[in-house]
Chain A
Amino acid sequence: MKSLRVDISKCTACKQCELACSWHLTGQFNPAKSAIKAFVFDAIARYVPYACFQCDEAWCMNSCPISAISVDVKTKAKIVDKNSCVGCKVCTIACPFGTISFDSVTGKVYKCDLCDGDPSCVTVCPTDAILYKDVDTASTPKMSEWALRLTDAYSIKEANL
């Protein structure tokens, strides 16, 4: 099983992910209808791609009164069945992360569906700020990076002994 991983330090806020996502979801370029958004925080110069985390016990899925949201067998993405969604928006209230949204044009909600296992945001990201990685091993690189930093702390301790 894989999930989207974001490296904030690499994002340039070019919005190619929003373009690709909105094309996938709507057949048009329309960042307002993208399930992933690259947020811009000017004062601290941080740019953050942000999308559904695909919770295991998903609030959106559990709150849907007509079970229009289900788990994709292959990717484990939480998928909205557009035919049965009645647009009640309860899921948008239930989701703590704001990553499921209502589209006033279709009258349905939409969210990240992981593009059937080949996320287009990952494909188009020019700086590899968005990756699609195996969840079971995803944290190893970060652990390794911080483990290396511990050696600095250890050296300081050694030097001071």
Chain B
Amino acid sequence: MSNSYTDKLLRVNLSEGTVKTEKINRDWQKEFIGGRGLATKYLISETDSKTDPLGKENKLIFVTGPLTGTSAPTGARYMVVTKSPLTGTIACSNSGGYFGSELKFAGYDMIIFEGASDKPVYLSIYNDDVVIKDAAAIWGKGVWETEDILKSVEGDSDSRVAAIGPAGENKVLFSCIVNEKHRAAGRSGVGAVMGSKKLKAIVVRGTKGIGVSNPERFFEDINKSKEILREAPVTGQALPAYGTAVLVNVMNEYGGLPSYNFRSSQFANAEKISGETIADTRLVANKACFACTIACGRVTKLPDNASEKYIVSTSSRNWKDAGGGPEYENIWAMAPLCGIDDIDALIKANWLCNDLGMDPISYGATLACAMELYENGAIDEKTAGMNLNFGNAEALVKMVYDTGHRSGFGDYLAEGSYRLSKRFSHPEFFMGVKKQEFPAYDPRAVQGIGLAYATNNRGADHLRAYTIASEIMGIPEKTDPAETEGKAALTKLFQDATGVVDSSGLCIFCTFAIGLPEIVPMINSAAGSDYSVDDALKIGERIWNMEHLYNLSAGILGAEDTLPKRILEGKIAEGPTKGMVNKLDKMLPEYYQLRGWDDNAVPSKEKIEELGLG
């Protein structure tokens, strides 16, 4: 029977230089749907949780879901699953664009890379022809140039490239994997793992079709979802008009937009870098990912007089051209958090992050940490090579390049803010969880997101339980951001539901309009499964616990489910959220209880058994 899985995986051993095709384990596929859940199951079964993330024994898995490559709205996603060099936890980073769907069209649900090459290579996939090739000519090049070269050498304008830039090659701990030049599997340093394997890129072209199990029902299901997405205010209006950057003003007005390394929760000049300002002055197009009817992606262009400002490198980037972003998180990390309001410096830094292959959240947050260290005298101008005062836009652009290349002070930044703050004897300036930097929502001002950060399996991050949807936007229903009550259940529900979305191949942004009652039928009619919404939530819970057990076995224990002192004790100094701190202790015990975990975050035997994780 035809369904939307290809049921095949590629196993590429980079040490041996071999490529094999295997059948996907059907039992695991049923247990985990696909995507994040399935790849995590493979990683856990095939690797030791204590393995060195940048060693040969770690594996790097690219995976799609059953809705990737179909016309289900936002069905573009692929995920990269590995052990993170930044956090030591499980890493699962998710990206859109056209790469994931193309992998399906070539006939594969998943690629597992194992071992490591001793010279730079890339993987070329054209349907059944899969070859490991020499990458000497592209090693060292930026993502943009790498994509252009590989497209011209390997295929046509529809060949899709996922690559690392110099940051991944240099094992910057928060380097990412970039496809279509500006979509990225961004967080947790998955690019460094790819770099450690000397794998520069994957280029894929596929000309095979994907079927669905029940076409009549499938089109009914997706048309319903498309309609809801079109009518909902966030996905039908706000995101198409302003992209994710619509949140800059929203969060700032609320008093939840952290600035100056979380010393403040508002930014006086937010208007200068807001989604509205970008739309009015720098936006040239909305760019959708594959099959996405929202099109939140931004493409911006610098005015001619700005393109010569802060040129830092011989980067392949042509500053006269249009480029992707900046998105909300990136704007926040590289502007308010560093006290910077120069929109063109921000756009340049964002583009450089894309070209170098680096997570702009962790980069911006690490620079903000360095700026606080600098202003406290822990770093001097000689060490930094320049003045690192908050607000220095020139430093923002220069340090992106230096970090990606690990040159000068950039070599310290490349380690992330946890290690940086320790190196310069102020660990209290690290603003994050489990060695990963916070994203753009102040957990003092929004209680639930603090719990979501603290308990996140991949360290501080907003994409595993985006409680902001409920606490700020009122989706699916409004909860009070200042209130802790009910946030444990909300966080657990969002974490479990997100596991389903991430395993299906849909983008989490579809959940601003649709929920599991719409998503599960789409999975079923495409994949030929018969999950109920409850079944799906159980799968989400299984995924969450599986990742958590991996972390525990890697030595990342419940004690790390916490927030920095500044967040727990340092009251917000001014603005509408003045006086607030995160009351994690009011939420965490209840969360553990709801999870069926003990006080040390260890799942009970019954829970493990119930989820089939024994």
Contact = CB atoms under 8 A, between A and B. Distances in A.
A124 B285 CA distance: 20
A28 interface: yes
Interface in B159-196: 181
Given A15-B290, A16-B293, 19 more contacts: A12-B285, A12-B286, A13-B287, A14-B288, A14-B291, A19-B70, A20-B71, A29-B209, A29-B210, A30-B207, A30-B210, A31-B158, A32-B158, A40-B157, A42-B321, A43-B318, A45-B285, A126-B226, A126-B293
A27 interface: yes
A42 B181 contact: yes
B98 interface: yes
A126 B299 CA distance: 18
B157 A45 contact: no
Contacts of B181: 42
Interface residues of A, number: 28
Interface of B: 2, 69-71, 98, 101, 105, 157-158, 181, 206-212, 215, 226, 230, 284-293, 295, 297, 299, 301, 318, 321-322
A31 B287 contact: no
A155 interface: no
A127 interface: yes
Given A32-B105, A42-B181, A126-B230, A47 B209 contact: no
29 contacts: A12-B285, A12-B287, A12-B288, A12-B292, A13-B287, A14-B288, A14-B290, A14-B292, A14-B295, A15-B290, A19-B70, A19-B291, A20-B71, A28-B211, A29-B69, A29-B209, A30-B208, A31-B101, A32-B158, A32-B206, A32-B208, A33-B209, A40-B157, A42-B181, A43-B321, A45-B287, A45-B322, A47-B285, A47-B287
Contacts of A27: 209, 211, 215
A46 interface: yes
A152 B322 CA distance: 29
A44 interface: yes
Contacts of A31: 101, 105, 158
A84 interface: no
Contacts of B321: 42-44
A30 B105 contact: yes
A30 B290 CA distance: 12
A14 B293 contact: yes
A73 to B, nearest CB: 28
Given A14-B295, A28-B211, A23 B105 contact: no
A23 B223 CA distance: 15
Contacts of A19: 70-71, 291
Interface string A35-79: 000011011111100000000000000000000000000000000
B204 to A, nearest CB: 12
A29 B71 contact: yes
B542 to A, nearest CB: 29
A26 interface: yes
A99 interface: no
B294 to A, nearest CB: 8
A22 interface: yes
Contacts of A45: 284-285, 287, 299, 301, 322
Given A30-B208, A30-B209, A16 B291 contact: yes
Interface string A99-129: 0000000000000000000000000101100
A126 to B, nearest CB: 4
Contacts of A42: 181, 321-322
A84 B207 CA distance: 24
Contact of B71 (A39, A44, A124): A124
Contact of B285 (A28, A29, A46, A126): A46
